[in-house]
C-alpha cells in the first residue's frame, strides 16, 4: 500500500480578499473530493490573497496506480481551476 500526495501552488492575481480566495479554494477542494474520493485541503499561505496551496492525498495499492491518479488529478486541476498552476510537487510513500 502506498500514499500518493500532490501539492499544488496556485496563483490567482485577480483575488483581492480572503473571501474571494476562500470561494476558489472551497470549490476546488470539494470538486477534487467528489471526483476522486481523495483528501484535499488548503495547507499553506492561508492569509495571502493571491497564493493558494492545496494538498491532495490518497491511498493506492502500488506505484503505477499512484502515478496514474496523480496525473489525472493534475490534469483536473489545470482544466477546472481559474488560478495558474505555478508549481506541483508529487510524493509517493
- Give the domain range for residue 58: 2-92
User: What's the average model confidence in pLDDT over 44-52?
Assistant: 91
What's residue 44's pLDDT? 93
What CATH number has the domain bearing residue 87?
3.30.70.1120
Would you state the pLDDT for residue 22? Answer: 93
The pTM of the full predicted model, rounded to 2 decimals, is: 0.90
10 neighbors 80 (Cβ within 8 angstroms): no
pLDDT band at 63 (very low <50, low <70, confident <90, very high): confident
Q: How many domains in the chain? A: 1
- Give CA–CA dist 8/86, Å, rounded: 8
Residues in the chain: 93
Amino acid at each position: 500500500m502506498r500514499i500518493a500526495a500532490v501539492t499544488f501552488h496556485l496563483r490567482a492575481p485577480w483575488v483581492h480578499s480572503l473571501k474571494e480566495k476562500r470561494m476558489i479554494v472551497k470549490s476546488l477542494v470539494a470538486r477534487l473530493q467528489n471526483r476522486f474520493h481523495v483528501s484535499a485541503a488548503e495547507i499553506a499561505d492561508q492569509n495571502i490573497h493571491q497564493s493558494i496551496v492545496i494538498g491532495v492525498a490518497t491511498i493506492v495499492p502500488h506505484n503505477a496506480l499512484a502515478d496514474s491518479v496523480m496525473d489525472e488529478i493534475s490534469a483536473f486541476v489545470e482544466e477546472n481551476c481559474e488560478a495558474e498552476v505555478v508549481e506541483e510537487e508529487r510524493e509517493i510513500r
